[in-house]
């Protein structure tokens, strides 16, 4: 019975953790480059230097004493996000949506005092949320307002888009939608929904929720498939250019779609998860092998491809919808 | 990548073959027992010499004893003889003990005991080949009879081997007149052997009479006579009566030549009783015994050469890789979630002190109480280091309390929890609570359970006495383990849990 599943999975080119670690993470990601992705401040600095869009950084707090700076950092902003620089999985993030009589109001509607924020920042600094418990830094940044398109298929929180890139070639994409169960967080292991995205058109496919395949949002009951994401090519280019930015060959790029600023890069992940395959109902190994063959071919010819060319390659070869490319109107009509 | 894979394959092959070769060498060449309770045969040969002393005359009893250059190792040799001088000398390949006494009266009893074992005997220098014999001079009719026998034998044989067997066959045909004449009435094996020796000496073929004893549990036995000759390469053994070639394995040469076992001066009515008895001894003890006796480096360079105290420590330590292997398999092949990589192994080591049932119970209780304290501390919003210190102190107090109560209740077993590493418990509690916060209670319970299962499995495997003995005695098997770990390092297949996780993808 196991053997049958095994064969079916390997036929479908599904990537397992062992293969991801051995063939991609270990092979393409040099350890000394990890700080760039593990520290969100470094990622942001690199991105800004490369002219890539990221949520604006309001300020950094790196010692307990620096907390005095907090007021001046947020003085001009009614809403902002407090994040550990080295956090993982969305832990330790507080999103302030508004102010209320000298207090702060989170997205969830909870009122918290300045002291509570102070304690939270001190926890972050002591390394509570960082990988391996190192001392950490706190960054305070622009709060993303999710695009209206997500209103019907998301519950609170900010949906994000994860695109996995191999050597700068986008190989698979997924839209992550927060649910009531995930508490507004876009993390699959906390109960968020992952929805596959067609690389060629940016139209959503079926979704996965707790390792099951679904097609409706459990909270809003609206269909999650067939939604055209706006500015899809912008997403693809941002993701593809993260290779030059980080130097890492196998990464998951997390992006958000801001109502005003369009696609922004949130963070990079050097060990992106594998549930994206369930969301896309496709295996990563097959696609990665195709990119690797293409790279070998290019190497023989002695040339390298630009981000545009890489995106074009991915869109040509990894289109999931049979009649792609469709214009967004047609796509919506056919799925209606 | 290709070259790395080849490199890895070669490394794995080298490690596996090294491990197998070293272990094989230990088992097959050094003969180290594979299991701890393997036993081995030990033979003790007892000779009792009795005679009546002739009053007023010095006594000199000369008695052959087995040479030690055989396929056996002597563990112990003893002479029990009150008031007798004992003197051993070698002559013509034989060993001979001379018991002597100025005067004695009445029945005298002398004992000789030799304890032998076949295990751990090393390649010994073989007995030297006998010199080419001078033809034994015969006269008149005997010469004629001998010639009459030798000529057809020479015609019917091709080499020494066939010559001897043909001679034995003819000499045993006692209806033959020539043989009858040469035997001169005697029909014992000794007589026949003498005639065979005579005929062969005329053909200038060397022959030796060997008196052997059977290594069997017997009441008493008389030495069995065999003949042997050297064909330039090896010894050929023949039975003087049946002509059977090749000596059975359980025969031990006692002495060679035609002299009697005992020659006695100053005594009469002598008798010799030989008994062979067999017992078994733990092979490992035997190995140590022979090491002392024969100064072989057999166990000198193994972990058994360490002081006893260190041996105990190494017996635990050398099993840690086995425990780690369990975790490796559970995580990378099965996909079970555990707390950290080596925490389960450390917990498994702690179980050694407490026994499994108690260990699991105490671990669960202390972790559960620690977790509740940790969640209470969470409300106080403390910094990490002070919080960890508080949990650790709490764990210490908890252990002390448990020990005290269990002592009062008469449960001495729980006392040993004091050896349960407190830091491991504290870190377990801390990490579990972080998992709880970040991934939820269900996930942290799953992780805790996975850790406990992994620790239990590792503990059970690490404490199998046979396995511990095997790894301790043949540490080279760890090289095979390393090879497996190396292979696991490049394992790219699915984990068992992934087959479940990605099941939805097989439907299409």
Please say whether the beta carbons of A270 and A37 come within 8 A.
yes
pLDDT of residue A169: 95
Interchain contact A213–B (C-beta under 8 A): yes
B340 has a chain A CB within 8 A of its CB: no
Written as one string, the DSSP assignment of B358-382 is: HHHHHHHHHHHHHHHHHHHHHHHT-
- Beta-bridged to residue A214, according to DSSP, are A207
Tell me the three state secondary structure of residue A29. coil
Read off the DSSP letter of residue B27: I
Contacts of A119 in chain B (CB under 8 A): 381
d(C-alpha B78, C-alpha B81), whole Å: 10
The H-or-E segment that residue B226 falls in is strand B224-230
pLDDT at residue A331, rounded to an integer = 39
Tell whether the torsion through CA atoms of A25, A315, A149 and A53 is positive or negative: positive
The reply to whether A134 touches chain B by the CB within 8 Å rule is no
Confirm if B455 and B327 have CB atoms less than 8 A apart. no
pLDDT for A203: 92
Looking up tokens 């301790």, which residue turns up? Answer: B472
Q: For residues A283 and A277, is the Cβ–Cβ distance under 8 A? A: yes
pLDDT, mean of residues A284-301: 93
Chosen for mutation from A17, A135, A196, A210 (greatest number of chain B CBs closer than 10 Å) is A17
Quote the pLDDT of residue A166.
Answer: 95
Number of neighbouring beta carbons within 10 Å of residue B279: 12
A201 neighbors A326 (Cβ within 8 angstroms): yes
A213 neighbourhood in chain B, CB within 8 Å: 504, 507
A123 inside 8 A of chain B by CB:
yes
Confidence of residue A335 (pLDDT cuts 50, 70, 90): very low
CB pairs under 8 A between A and B: 82
- Quick check: helix, strand or coil at residue B119? coil
Residue B14, classed as helix, strand or coil, is helix
Among A1, A6, A14, A16, most B C-beta atoms within 10 A, so best to mutate, is A16
Q: Please state, in angstroms and as integers, the Cα–Cα distance from residue B427 to each residue in B342, B387, B395, following that order.
A: 12, 12, 11
Closest CA relative to residue A310, chosen from A254, A237, A229, A245:
A237
- B346 class by beta-carbon count within 10 Å (0-12 exposed, 13-18 middle, 19+ buried): buried
Q: Which residue has the higher pLDDT, B244 or A113?
A: A113
Q: DSSP E strands: which ranges in A9-142? A: 57-61, 80-84, 94-100, 103-106, 111-112, 138-141
Q: Which residues contact B95 (CB under 8 A, 6 or more apart)?
A: B64, B65, B66, B67, B68, B88, B89, B255
Nearest to A278 among B434, B496, B504 (CB): B504
Assess B125–A contact: CB distance below 8 Å, yes or no. no
Whose tokens are 């956090």? That residue is A87
Distance CA(B150)–CA(B166), nearest Å, equals: 10
pLDDT band at residue A88 using 50, 70 and 90 as cut-offs? confident
Question: What is the SS3 assignment for A312?
Answer: helix
Confirm if A243 and A165 have CB atoms less than 8 A apart: yes
Distance of CA A291 to the CA centre of its chain: 21
For position B122, what pLDDT does the model report?
A: 56
User: Residues of A81-90 as b/e, b for ≥16 C-beta within 10 angstroms?
Assistant: bbbbbbbbbb
* A156-166: average pLDDT: 90
Taking Cα atoms as reference points, which of A216, A260, A255, A215 lies closest to residue A237? A255
First to last CA, chain B: 33
Helix-helix angle B343-354:B320-328, to 10 degrees = 130
Cβ burial of A332 (10 Å; 0-12, 13-18, 19+) is middle
Is the minimum CB–CB distance between B204 and chain A shorter than 8 Å?
no
Q: Which candidate from B439, B494, B503 shows the least CB-CB separation from A189? A: B439
* Contact between A208 and B504 using a beta-carbon 8 Å cutoff: yes
Task: Find the residue in B nearest to A117 (Cα).
Answer: B381
The nearest alpha carbon in chain B to A6 belongs to B499
Kindly state whether B295 is in contact with chain A, defined as any CB-CB distance less than 8 angstroms. Answer: no
The share of chain A scoring above pLDDT 90, in percent, equals 39
Residue-level pLDDT at B329 = 93
Of B1, B434, B493, Cβ closest to residue A18: B493
Q: Residues 6 or more apart from B409 whose CB is under 8 A from it?
A: none
Question: Hey, is B431 helix, strand or coil?
Answer: helix
Work out the burial of residue A276: count CB atoms within 10 Å of its CB; fewer than 13 is exposed, 13-18 middle, 19 or more buried.
Answer: buried
Cα separation, A272 vs B472, in Å, equals: 42
- In the three-class reduction of DSSP (H, G, I as helix; E, B as strand; rest coil), residue B39 is classed as strand
Give the span between the Cα atoms of B319 and A79, in whole angstroms. Answer: 57
- Report in angstroms the alpha-carbon separations of B501 from A208, A213, B75, B493: 11, 11, 64, 14
B229, B257, B301: which is closest to B64 by C-alpha?
B257
- Contact, A155 vs A217, CB < 8 A? yes
* Residue B504 touches chain A, beta carbons under 8 Å: yes
Cα separation of A87 and A124, whole Å?
Answer: 9
Sheet holding B73-80, edge to edge: B73-80, B106-117, B39-53, B267-282, B218-221
B383–A281 CB contact, under 8 Å: no
pLDDT of B419 reads 58
Handedness of CA A298, A304, A307, A312 (dihedral sign): negative
3-class secondary structure, B241: coil
Task: Specify the pLDDT at position B121.
Answer: 60
Which tokens is B119 given?
């295990």
Indicate yes or no: CB of A278 within 8 angstroms of CB of B506: no
What whole-number percentage of chain A has pLDDT above 70?
A: 94
**Which chain A residues are within 8 Å of B506, Cβ to Cβ?**
5, 8-9, 12
Q: Do A126 and B385 touch (CB under 8 A)?
A: yes
Q: Is A50 on the interface with B (CB under 8 A)?
A: no
Residue-wise pLDDT for A31-41, tens only, equals 899 888 888 99
Task: Mark yes or no for CB contact A14/B383 under 8 Å.
Answer: no
Taking an 8 Å cut-off on Cβ atoms, the answer to whether A16 and B494 are in contact is yes
Inter-chain CB proximity A2 and B496 less than 8 Å: yes
Q: Is the dihedral of CA B18, B22, B24, B29 positive or negative?
A: positive
Contacts B503 to A, Cβ<8 Å? 5, 211
Number of neighbouring beta carbons within 10 Å of residue B283: 21
Cβ B384–A277 below 8 Å, yes or no?
no
Specify the pLDDT at position A329. Answer: 41
Give the one of A6, A213, A283 whose C-beta lies nearest to B504's C-beta: A213
CB B1 within 8 A of CB B492: no
Tokens of B503: 């099941």
Q: B207 with B133: CB under 8 angstroms? A: yes
* Cα–Cα distance, A287 to B450 (Å, whole number): 34
- Residue of A188, A190, A201 whose CA lies nearest to A162: A188
Give the residue from B494, B495, B508 with the most A CB atoms within 10 Å of its CB, the best one to mutate: B494
**Does B410 touch chain A if contact means CB atoms closer than 8 Å?**
no
A336 vs A24, which has greater pLDDT? A24
- Residue A221 near chain B (CB below 8 Å): no
Residue B258: predicted pLDDT? 80
B381 contacts on A by Cβ (under 8 Å): 119, 123
Residue B258 DSSP class: S
What is the edge-to-edge ordering of all strands in the sheet holding A262-269? Answer: A212-214, A204-209, A193-197, A169-177, A160-166, A250-258, A262-269
Walk along chain B (508 residues) and give the pLDDT tens digit of each residue. 678 888 989 999 999 999 999 989 888 877 777 777 777 778 888 888 888 888 888 888 889 988 877 777 777 788 888 788 888 888 777 888 888 888 788 888 888 888 888 766 655 556 666 666 677 777 778 788 887 788 888 888 888 788 888 888 888 877 777 777 777 777 777 888 888 887 888 777 888 888 888 888 777 888 888 888 887 777 888 888 887 888 887 888 888 888 888 888 888 888 888 888 887 777 767 666 665 554 455 555 677 777 777 788 888 889 999 999 999 999 999 989 888 878 898 888 888 877 788 888 888 888 888 888 888 887 887 777 788 788 888 888 888 888 788 777 776 665 565 556 777 888 888 788 777 776 777 888 888 999 999 999 999 999 998 898 889 888 999 999 999 999 988 888 999 998 888 888 886 5
Whether the predicted pLDDT of A201 surpasses 60: yes
Instruction: Tell whether A91 lies on the interface with B, counting CB pairs under 8 A.
Output: yes
Residue B480: name the closest of B14, B7, B10, B30 by CA: B14
The span from the CA of B426 to the CA of B444, in Å, is 15
Q: What is the pLDDT of residue A333?
A: 39
């Amino acid at each position: 019975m196991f053997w049958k599943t095994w064969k079916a999975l390997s036929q479908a080119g599904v990537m397992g953790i062992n293969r991801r670690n051995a063939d991609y993470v270990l092979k393409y990601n040099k350890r000394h480059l990890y700080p760039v992705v593990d520290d969100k401040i470094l990622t942001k600095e690199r991105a800004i230097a490369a002219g890539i869009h990221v949520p604006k950084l309001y300020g950094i707090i790196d010692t307990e004493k620096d907390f005095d700076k907090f007021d001046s950092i947020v003085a001009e902003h009614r809403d902002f996000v407090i994040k550990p620089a080295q956090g993982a999985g969305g832990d330790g993030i507080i999103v302030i949506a508004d102010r209320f009589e000298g207090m702060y109001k989170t997205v969830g509607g909870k009122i918290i005092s300045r002291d509570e924020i102070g304690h939270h920042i001190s926890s972050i600094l002591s390394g509570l949320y960082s990988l391996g418990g190192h001392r950490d830094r706190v960054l305070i940044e622009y709060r993303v307002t999710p695009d209206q398109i997500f209103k019907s298929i998301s519950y609170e929180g900010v949906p994000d888009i994860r695109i996995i890139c191999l050597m700068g070639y986008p190989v698979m994409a997924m839209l992550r939608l927060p649910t009531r169960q995930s508490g507004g967080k876009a993390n699959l292991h906390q109960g968020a929904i992952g929805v596959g995205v067609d690389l060629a058109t940016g139209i959503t496919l079926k979704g996965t929720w707790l390792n099951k395949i679904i097609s409706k949002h459990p909270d809003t009951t609206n269909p999650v498939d067939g939604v055209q994401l706006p500015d899809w090519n912008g997403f693809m280019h941002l993701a593809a250019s993260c290779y030059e930015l980080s130097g890492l060959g196998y990464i998951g790029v997390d992006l958000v779609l801001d109502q005003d600023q369009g696609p922004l890069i949130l963070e990079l992940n050097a060990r992106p998860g594998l549930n994206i395959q369930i969301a896309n109902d496709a295996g990563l190994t097959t696609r990665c092998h195709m990119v690797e063959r293409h790279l070998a071919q290019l190497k023989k010819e002695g040339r390298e491809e630009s981000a545009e060319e890489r995106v074009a390659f991915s869109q040509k070869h990894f289109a999931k919808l049979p009649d792609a490319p469709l214009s967004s109107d047609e796509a919506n009509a056919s799925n209606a | 990548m290709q070259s790395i894979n080849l490199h890895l394959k070669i490394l794995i092959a080298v490690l596996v073959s090294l491990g197998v070769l070293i272990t094989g060498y230990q088992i097959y060449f050094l003969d180290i027992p594979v299991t701890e309770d393997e036993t081995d045969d030990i033979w003790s040969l007892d000779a009792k010499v009795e005679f009546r002393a002739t009053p007023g005359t010095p006594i000199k009893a000369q008695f052959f004893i087995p040479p030690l250059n055989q396929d056996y190792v002597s563990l112990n040799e003893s002479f029990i003889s009150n008031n007798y001088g004992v003197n051993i000398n070698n002559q013509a390949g034989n060993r001979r003990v001379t018991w002597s006494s100025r005067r004695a009266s009445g029945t005298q009893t002398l004992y000789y005991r030799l304890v032998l074992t076949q295990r751990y005997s090393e390649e010994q220098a073989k007995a030297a080949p006998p010199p080419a014999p001078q033809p034994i001079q015969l006269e008149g009719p005997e010469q004629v009879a001998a010639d009459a026998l030798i000529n057809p034998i020479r015609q019917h044989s091709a080499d020494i081997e066939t010559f001897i067997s043909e001679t034995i066959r003819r000499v045993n045909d006692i209806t033959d007149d020539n043989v009858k004449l040469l035997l001169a009435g005697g029909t014992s094996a000794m007589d026949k052997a003498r005639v065979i020796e005579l005929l062969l000496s005329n053909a200038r073929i060397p022959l030796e009479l060997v008196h052997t004893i059977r290594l069997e549990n017997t009441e008493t036995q008389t030495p069995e006579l065999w003949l042997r000759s050297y064909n330039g390469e090896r010894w050929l053994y023949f039975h003087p009566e049946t002509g059977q070639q090749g000596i059975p394995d359980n025969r031990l040469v006692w002495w060679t030549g035609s002299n009697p076992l005992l020659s006695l001066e100053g005594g009469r009515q002598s008798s010799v009783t030989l008994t062979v008895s067999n017992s078994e001894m733990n092979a490992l003890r035997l190995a140590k015994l022979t090491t002392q006796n024969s100064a072989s480096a057999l166990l000198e360079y193994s972990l058994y050469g360490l002081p006893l105290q260190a041996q105990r420590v190494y017996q635990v330590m050398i099993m840690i890789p086995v425990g780690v292997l369990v975790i490796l398999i559970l995580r990378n092949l099965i996909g079970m979630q555990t707390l950290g990589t080596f925490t389960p192994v450390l917990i498994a080591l702690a179980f050694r002190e407490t026994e499994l049932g108690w260990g699991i119970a105490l671990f669960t209780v202390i972790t559960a109480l620690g977790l509740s304290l940790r969640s209470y501390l969470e409300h106080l919003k403390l910094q990490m280091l002070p919080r960890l210190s508080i949990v650790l102190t709490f764990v210490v107090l908890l252990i002390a309390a448990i020990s005290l109560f269990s002592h009062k209740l008469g449960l001495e077993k729980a006392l040993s929890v004091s050896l349960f590493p407190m830091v491991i418990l504290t870190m377990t509690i801390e990490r579990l609570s972080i998992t709880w916060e970040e991934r939820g209670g269900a996930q942290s319970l799953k992780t805790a359970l996975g850790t406990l299962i992994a620790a239990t499995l590792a503990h059970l495997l690490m404490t199998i006495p046979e396995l511990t003995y095997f790894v301790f005695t043949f540490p080279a098997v760890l090289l095979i383990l390393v090879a497996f770990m190396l292979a696991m390092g490049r394992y790219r297949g699915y984990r068992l849990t992934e087959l479940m996780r990605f099941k939805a993808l097989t439907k299409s």
